[in-house]
């Protein structure tokens, strides 16, 4: 006997995609998507609102946890954290963007592999510290950066944090994805220990470090080629003509 599956609740996903593409208020989009999903699943409107209210009450402390670090970081930036980071990295004459990010990639991936995933991150590490240090290293060597090059440097800082976290946490045995893989394999009749799954994440993490390290090395070469060419006198004359 075949069971008919109601696919209409997936309309909530469609609403979220359209709302984010049109850049509507995220809170409004998610709320509307929740209501549409509930109505498509034949839930009474009262129950939908009740469930949304219960979810808000259960996670009301989450907003404080997320917003408090942002407020602290904003206060530190106001008192010159970014400027101090740029001035500090400028004291290292051999520092480059690629070398700095390779060191950060190693630290980020290693700490994530032992479960310390909160030591990095975009709001608490990349924006206030890593990005200004990378900018300082580049400006110390090439002078004032053009806007397009500066944006590439910032993007590479964010990408380095993502790569280090994504592939490093796969080595940590208590990571949720490893538990999910263990459960999936167990349901398929394969009893694989979570420790073994985490162990086989090590080669992938090493390959990710090598590949992204090469990308950072090439990024250094690109910066040198682009910015050195832009600062040559003959290039300046060509631009003036």
CB-facing half-sphere around the CA of 60: CA atoms within 13 A: 6
What is the pLDDT at residue 77? Answer: 62
Q: What is the DSSP string of 6-23?
A: --GGGHHHHHHHHHHHTT
What is the pLDDT at residue 119? Answer: 81
Task: Give the torsion through C-alpha atoms of 215, 132, 223, 144, to 10 deg.
Answer: 170
What is the pLDDT at residue 236? Answer: 40
- Least Cα distance to 149 among 90, 54, 223 occurs for 223
* CB 146 within 8 Å of CB 230: yes
Q: Which residues make Cβ contacts (< 8 Å) with residue 114, sequence separation at least 6? A: 172
pLDDT along the chain (241 residues), means of 10: 68 89 86 89 87 72 59 64 66 81 94 86 83 87 88 94 92 80 81 84 93 95 82 43 43
How many residues in total does the chain contain? 241
Give the count of beta carbons closer than 10 Å to the beta carbon of residue 239.
Answer: 8
User: Nearest 5°: phi and psi at 77?
Assistant: -65, -40
Three-state SS at 120: coil
């Amino acid at each position: 006997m075949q069971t008919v599956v109601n696919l209409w609740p997936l309309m909530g996903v469609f609403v979220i995609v359209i709302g984010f593409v049109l850049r509507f208020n995220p809170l409004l989009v998610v709320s509307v998507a929740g209501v549409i999903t509930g109505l498509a699943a034949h839930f009474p409107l009262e129950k939908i609102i009740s469930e949304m209210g219960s979810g808000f009450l259960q996670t009301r402390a989450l907003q404080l946890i997320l917003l408090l670090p942002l407020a602290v970081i904003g206060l530190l930036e106001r008192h010159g954290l970014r400027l101090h980071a740029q001035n500090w990295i400028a004291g290292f004459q051999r520092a480059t963007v690629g070398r700095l990010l390779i060191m950060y990639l190693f630290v980020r991936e290693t700490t994530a592999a032992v479960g310390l995933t909160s030591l990095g991150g975009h709001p608490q590490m990349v924006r206030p510290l890593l990005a200004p240090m990378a900018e300082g290293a580049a400006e110390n060597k090439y002078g004032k950066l053009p806007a397009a090059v500066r944006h590439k440097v910032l993007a590479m800082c964010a990408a380095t944090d993502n790569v280090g976290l994504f592939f490093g946490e796969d080595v940590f045995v208590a990571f949720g994805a490893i538990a999910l893989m263990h459960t999936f394999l167990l349901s398929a009749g394969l009893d694989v220990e979570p420790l073994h799954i985490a162990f086989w994440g090590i080669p992938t993490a090493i390959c990710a470090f090598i590949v992204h390290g090469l990308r950072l090395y090439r990024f250094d070469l690109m910066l040198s080629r682009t910015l050195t060419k832009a600062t040559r006198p003959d290039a300046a004359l060509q631009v003036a003509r």
